[in-house]
Structure 1
Amino acid sequence: MTISDLSIKNPVFAWMLMFFLMIFGWVGYSRMGVSQMPDVDFPVVNIAVTWEGAAPEIMEAEVVDVIEDAVTSVQGVKQITSSSKLGSAAITVELELERGVDVALQEIQTKIAQAQMRLPRDMDPPVVTKVNPEDQPIMWLALSGDVPVKDLMVYAQEVLKNKFQTVPGVGDIFLGGLIERNLRVWLDADKMRAEQITVEDILAAIHREHAEIPAGQIETPAREFNVRTLGEFTDPNKFGELLITQRGGAPIHIPIPLKRVTRIEDGLADQRRISRVNGSRAVGIGIRKQRGANAVEIADLVKKKMKEVEPGLPKGMKLGVNFDSTQFIKQSVSELTHHLLLAALLTSLVCWLFLGSWSSTLNVLLAIPTSVLGTFIVTYFLGFTLNSFTLLGLTLSIGIVVDDAIMVLENIVRHVEMGKSRLEGSVFGAREISFAAMAATIAILAIFLPVVFMKGIIGKFFFQFGVTISAAVSFSLLEALTLAPMRCSQFLETASHGSFIIRFVDKAFGRLTESYRRGLTWTLDHRWTVIACAAVFFAGSMVSLKFLRKEFMPAQDQSMFMMRLQTPVGSSMEFTDNKFKEVEAWL
């Protein structure tokens, strides 16, 4: 007993199998994330280091050389490049393609931690990240307004960041153009000279007096008490009351308040970055999504949160969307989905023209949702997203998944037209064509399945494409050998050749057959000429490969453009800011 016999004799089982694939496939589809590209980690690890005020030469000698020496011993490192500038440096570690990025990232972090004693103590901890397009912000919000810059920075960092971090699916919030809030101590040289106080005395007093250290505990026979020393000032206005108790390391009998020789300002750190929106100072709020999450859904939730936040914004502040990549993702997915549906409709029309029966067309057409929705079960459990590659695979598979069903259906129709009943025609027709259907499916899999085993970054991107189309073709074979014969045994109707459209199509195919016969006869009579022409055409196509342009991804028009303006080396922030204002005014 073949699998088609089992399906024909147990139609309930076959119908349940079809509905199972459709229902659970739809559930998987509804839960899949949406993104423009697959989640692929590039074999690159970035190390960012910051040492405020250090010259590029110092960064190179004291920081970069130490880190490069530490990470060189990590297995799978292919190349290390670095660039140093004032106060910061970037180190890029390129790995071998077969090296696992996550494991290499952990080893690099371990090597840097082991080399920490050789790095300057007052530099910021190195930040180690891997390169993945999915880690880029999916959208940028902008908080702007005609209010003091400090108010913008503080509100964005202490209020808005926390609000948007709670949105489901948001992985991280990145604040662009943020200037950290700082407590600035402005020294008065004349007053310091009068009090015989130096800068070192003030720094030592701040380190010594503005600190909260563990104080232990008090124990009694009955109870224990934790002791806390309140050494840090929580109010900037009271910071000036900090006492300078030493002068040159020697104690001062009458301590000097800090505010006597300085001016305390609750302000911002040094301005090394400026961001504006429509000419007004702003803070950018970058939204990064979690891996595998639905980018479009997250963007909608963020916009919904914006509407909730806007009524509570301080007077003079405005919050808006400055960049939204999900609009392009939504358009791309919608366009591919539209093409998917259009391909299904055109396939059904062609099937009707060929088969001449609506019941036969419906039988073939049901193979499309069964195979496509069944594919979503596989892609969901493999952690894929609805992206350009998976949707491309599904679009290409529309015309393929009906091939097996048409093959089986046509043979069953032939048996029915020979006088057999629908049941007998379905049994004998499916048995005869099963091996041919399997051979055709294996031939198609032999084309697309090797894509799954491609190496390199291209292979990682096309992995989801290969798996998707291979799964769809495999489900189409299952559908053709089980569900299609069962449906034929229940409601198959042969075509009526009295219809005008059917007669027209039959005549057209008759003329096409005659033309093909004449062309085939000529080809067989001039076989060496045909072989020579084919060889010339093949050689010409191979030569044309040298003239084809090569690029990682095709150019895509997203209805936006970006400009990068660079001023001469050594330009001040004020000079650079003025040049940018000129460009903004021109735009």
Structure 2
Amino acid sequence: MKLSDISIRRPVMAWMIMFALIIFGAVSLGRLGISYMPDVDFPLLSIRVTWEGVAPEYMETEIVDRIEKEVIAVEGLKEIVSSVRQGSANIQLEFDIDRDIDVAVQEVQTALSQLRLPTGVDPPVLRKSNPDESPILWLGLSGNRNQFELFKIADQLVLDRIQLVDGVGEVFVGGSAERNLRVYVDNRKLKKYELTILDVREAIRQDHAEGSSGYLENQEHSYNLRTMGEAQSIDEMGRIRITRRGGGPIYRSGITLSDLADVKNGLNDAQRINRVNGTEAITIGVKKQSGANEVQVAENLRAEIERINKNLPEGVHINVNFDGTRFTKEAIEETQFTLILSGILTALVCWLFLGNWSSTLNVILSIPTSIIGTFIVIYFMGFTLNLFTLLALSLAIGIVVDDNIMILENIIRHFEMGKDRVRASRDGAREITFAAVAASVAVIAIFLPVAFMEGVIGKFFFQFGVTLSAAVALSLLDAVTLTPMRASQTLVHENREPRMVRAVRILMEHLARWYRWALEVTLRRPLVTFLSTSLLFAGSLLILFVIKREFVPPQDQSQFGVRFETPMGSSIHYTDAMGQKLEAFLKERPEVTSYLSIVGGFGGGEANTGVYFVSMTPKSERDVGQYEFMDQVRKKIQSIEGMRGFLFDFSSRGLSARRSQPVEFSIRGGDWHTLKKSADAIL
């Protein structure tokens, strides 16, 4: 007994199958994460080593070279990229795309454990590195307070509440300033008392401290003792006695710190300067948890920020200054609209050609059954709603109705022969079931191999191939079971042919006559037909070599970034001054809605580096395209003497193991100074 016969005999069971697919598919859809690209776990490890105050050249020979020699033998290692700075080194290990990253972590950890590093070096820190784990939002806290007060407000009123938002992962702060005491020593007074700066430092270290002093215990109580030696005010700090000179004691010393120096309140030296739209601010970067719906997390954060602003002191506010999910949301919404529109147009075309509302309704019901049911597969496979899965579903809409139309058209043929709708549904489905299965298997055979592609492209198209194949498989199930059942209950004769349907029928009759004539001509002249089609095919191949190739083309996302640097050795204040020249240009442009600057130390950079995140007005509200405007910014940077900049967009975010660019140059050699000259010559 065929499946169609079972569904016709037991329609309640068939209806329950259809509703189960739709209901459980809808539940799965509500639980799916949303992302721009599929979540791909790139096999990338990062090793960070710190050695306070050591020069880069010494770090390279004593640390980096040793680590590279130890890990070079790890299986599947593809590339090692090392960067060395004053007191720190970072080594990135990229493995083959199919390498199990967890096994690689264990092997690299074993190699590092066998390494003997010089005394004073902090233990290497090994962690997985994912380039897609960048902040989804950058927030700016600014107002009529200094940096220390702003940081205190952020620490007490903002950070904890942001961390508690559902889906938020790591939260980090930039631009913070901590209060400290500054001791300005008078060299003349040091000479007067025959002391050195080391004697002063040692006195502060010994007296300005607190710690455990043991405990007291009796038969009833136990007390912990603690020496409270830290100075609580500037006056207490000034009363610290200098009791040693050159390591030896000074008996009956009456020399105090205030005799030698001025002690004042102050802030620590600026290591990073952050600004929002030209105003100094505390910047807060927010990362999402792995697998979380980044669009939903961003919406939750925006709602929480509105509540936080109500509790902030007057004159202080926090805003979203860069939203990395904006384009993701727009792209997903546009794809979802396309998906819905495709379903509506498919239903309209089916009605125009079938000419029967009951038959059209049958086809329309097959679309949600197949498409929404596919969300069950997407959910249990651990996929997200991204451009690849939604693209597969959009493409599937035109495919999933093929089997239904094929079987339904045969059922209608039997119905028009005078059979009752139950018998017509049974006989029509029986005749065409094998053909429907063959057609669906052929489609699956085309798209399923896409899921087994290798390399980086295979990682992305895996979700595409599985999603499309699942939709086609469900459409086949619907066609051989649910379509005959629905036809057996709803199929009716149309008493009057609608005008649009009649017009389409007349048009198709004319096209059929034209097609019959063209077919006769081609059959009478087989040689001409063969040569003309061969030339057309050859011409198509030639055009193929002219068409440009690109995995993901650049897209106007209304946001981009600028990395810039000043000459090596520049102070953070000089770098900031150069950046403000670019800010003045951005401030005057109507296309720019906001910009966030981070000068010094961003992403492991030095004091002579900085980055800007620029947000533009929506594409429909400006005359200048994003890439045209980026060219203008690039020319502005070239006109600023002492600044070198590099602009980047976010179109290729998450497409490679490292944040690589479309074109990169690698200059290799044994002498760093020669390499630097070569790099400057290229730039």
Normalising by the residue count of structure 1, what TM-score does the alignment of the two structures yield?
Answer: 0.90
CA distance, structure 1, for counterparts of residue 407 and residue 240 of structure 2: 90
- Is 1:354 the counterpart of 2:353? The answer is yes
User: Which residue of 226, 230, 239 corresponds with 1:229?
Assistant: 226
The residue aligned with 1:63 is 63
Mean CA deviation greater in 40-49 or 322-331 = 40-49
The residue aligned with 1:384 is 383
Alpha carbons 1:55, 1:85 under 8 Å: kept: yes
SS of residue in 2 equivalent to 1:558: coil
Mean CA deviation greater in 142-151 or 248-257 = 248-257
The residue aligned with 1:74 is 74
Structure 1 residues 217 and 585, CA, compared in 2 at 3 Å: closer, same or farther?
same
The residue aligned with 2:19 is 19
CA distance, structure 2, for counterparts of residue 504 and residue 120 of structure 1: 89
1:34-53 pair list within 5 angstroms: 34-51=34-51, 53=53
CA distance, structure 2, for counterparts of residue 236 and residue 303 of structure 1: 41
Alpha carbons 1:179, 1:273 under 8 Å: kept: no
Structure 1 residues 572 and 257, CA, compared in 2 at 3 Å: closer, same or farther?
same
Alpha carbons 1:351, 1:361 under 8 Å: kept: yes
The residue aligned with 1:570 is 569
Mean CA deviation greater in 161-170 or 553-562 = 553-562
1:194 shift after superposition: 4.0
Gaps of 5+ in 2: 587-683
Q: Given residue 328 of structure 1, which amino acid in structure 2 is its aligned partner?
A: F
1:64 shift after superposition: 2.5
Alpha carbons 1:176, 1:275 under 8 Å: kept: yes
Q: Given residue 505 of structure 1, which amino acid in structure 2 is its aligned partner?
A: V
Structure 1 residues 55 and 25, CA, compared in 2 at 3 Å: closer, same or farther?
same
1:404 shift after superposition: 1.0
Mean CA deviation greater in 237-246 or 340-349 = 237-246
The residue aligned with 2:135 is 137
SS of residue in 2 equivalent to 1:564: strand
Alpha carbons 1:50, 1:126 under 8 Å: kept: no
Mean CA deviation greater in 318-327 or 41-50 = 41-50
The residue aligned with 1:426 is 425
Instruction: After superposition, give the CA deviation of every residue in 1:133-153 in whole Å (9 maximum; x if it has no partner).
Output: 2x1111111112242222223
1:183-202 pair list within 5 angstroms: 184-202=182-200
The residue aligned with 1:173 is 171
Structure 1 residues 533 and 410, CA, compared in 2 at 3 Å: closer, same or farther?
same
1:417 shift after superposition: 1.2
Structure 1 residues 130 and 254, CA, compared in 2 at 3 Å: closer, same or farther?
farther
1:573 shift after superposition: 2.2
Structure 1 residues 267 and 384, CA, compared in 2 at 3 Å: closer, same or farther?
farther
Instruction: After superposition, give the CA deviation of every residue in 1:15-36 in whole Å (9 maximum; x if it has no partner).
Output: 1111111111111111111111
1:562 shift after superposition: 3.0
The residue aligned with 2:147 is 149
Alpha carbons 2:214, 2:226 under 8 Å: kept: no
Alpha carbons 1:81, 1:92 under 8 Å: kept: yes
Q: Given residue 272 of structure 1, which amino acid in structure 2 is its aligned partner?
A: Q
1:223 shift after superposition: 6.9
The residue aligned with 2:457 is 458
CA distance, structure 1, for counterparts of residue 223 and residue 238 of structure 2: 29
1:172-571 pair list within 5 angstroms: 172-179=170-177, 184-204=182-202, 225=222, 227=224, 229-230=226-227, 233=230, 235=232, 237=234, 246-254=244-252, 261-264=260-263, 267-496=266-495, 498-571=497-570
Alpha carbons 2:451, 2:465 under 8 Å: kept: yes
Q: Given residue 173 of structure 1, which amino acid in structure 2 is its aligned partner?
A: V
Structure 1 residues 197 and 459, CA, compared in 2 at 3 Å: closer, same or farther?
farther
The residue aligned with 2:7 is 7
1:479 shift after superposition: 0.8
Alpha carbons 1:240, 1:259 under 8 Å: kept: yes
The residue aligned with 2:642 is none
SS of residue in 1 equivalent to 2:470: helix
1:260 shift after superposition: 5.1
SS of residue in 1 equivalent to 2:93: strand
Q: Given residue 40 of structure 1, which amino acid in structure 2 is its aligned partner?
A: V
Structure 1 residues 261 and 103, CA, compared in 2 at 3 Å: closer, same or farther?
farther
1:313 shift after superposition: 2.2
Mean CA deviation greater in 508-517 or 452-461 = 508-517
- Is 1:128 the counterpart of 2:134? The answer is no
The residue aligned with 2:83 is 83
Alpha carbons 1:355, 1:495 under 8 Å: kept: no
SS of residue in 2 equivalent to 1:464: helix
CA distance, structure 2, for counterparts of residue 404 and residue 214 of structure 1: 80
Alpha carbons 2:163, 2:171 under 8 Å: kept: yes
1:428 shift after superposition: 1.4
CA distance, structure 2, for counterparts of residue 20 and residue 258 of structure 1: 81
SS of residue in 2 equivalent to 1:229: strand
CA distance, structure 2, for counterparts of residue 481 and residue 427 of structure 1: 10
1:413 shift after superposition: 1.0
Mean CA deviation greater in 486-495 or 197-206 = 197-206
Alpha carbons 2:447, 2:469 under 8 Å: kept: yes
SS of residue in 1 equivalent to 2:567: coil
Q: Given residue 60 of structure 2, which amino acid in structure 1 is its aligned partner?
A: E
Structure 1 residues 316 and 124, CA, compared in 2 at 3 Å: closer, same or farther?
farther
CA distance, structure 2, for counterparts of residue 342 and residue 423 of structure 1: 33
Determine what percentage of the aligned residue pairs are the same residue.
48
SS of residue in 1 equivalent to 2:140: strand
Cα RMSD, aligned residues only: 2.9
Mean CA deviation greater in 365-374 or 566-575 = 566-575
Q: Given residue 572 of structure 2, which amino acid in structure 1 is its aligned partner?
A: M
Mean CA deviation greater in 206-215 or 577-586 = 206-215
CA distance, structure 2, for counterparts of residue 89 and residue 205 of structure 1: 34
Instruction: After superposition, give the CA deviation of every residue in 1:1-50 in whole Å (9 maximum; x if it has no partner).
Output: 11111111111111111111111111111111111111112333334445
SS of residue in 1 equivalent to 2:374: helix
SS of residue in 2 equivalent to 1:451: helix
SS of residue in 1 equivalent to 2:166: coil
Q: Given residue 420 of structure 1, which amino acid in structure 2 is its aligned partner?
A: K
Q: Given residue 248 of structure 1, which amino acid in structure 2 is its aligned partner?
A: G
Mean CA deviation greater in 394-403 or 518-527 = 518-527
CA distance, structure 2, for counterparts of residue 165 and residue 26 of structure 1: 30
- Is 1:584 the counterpart of 2:583? The answer is yes
Structure 1 residues 52 and 424, CA, compared in 2 at 3 Å: closer, same or farther?
same
CA distance, structure 2, for counterparts of residue 458 and residue 305 of structure 1: 38
Structure 1 residues 431 and 323, CA, compared in 2 at 3 Å: closer, same or farther?
same
Mean CA deviation greater in 266-275 or 317-326 = 266-275
Q: How many residues align?
A: 584
Alpha carbons 1:40, 1:132 under 8 Å: kept: no
Mean CA deviation greater in 271-280 or 19-28 = 271-280
Instruction: After superposition, give the CA deviation of every residue in 1:508-537 in whole Å (9 maximum; x if it has no partner).
Output: 212222222222233333334433444444
1:491 shift after superposition: 0.9
The residue aligned with 2:594 is none
Alpha carbons 1:413, 1:494 under 8 Å: kept: no
Structure 1 residues 82 and 415, CA, compared in 2 at 3 Å: closer, same or farther?
same
SS of residue in 2 equivalent to 1:565: strand
Alpha carbons 1:217, 1:224 under 8 Å: kept: no
Structure 1 residues 109 and 153, CA, compared in 2 at 3 Å: closer, same or farther?
farther
Instruction: After superposition, give the CA deviation of every residue in 1:155-189 in whole Å (9 maximum; x if it has no partner).
Output: 33454222211111101112234456655554443
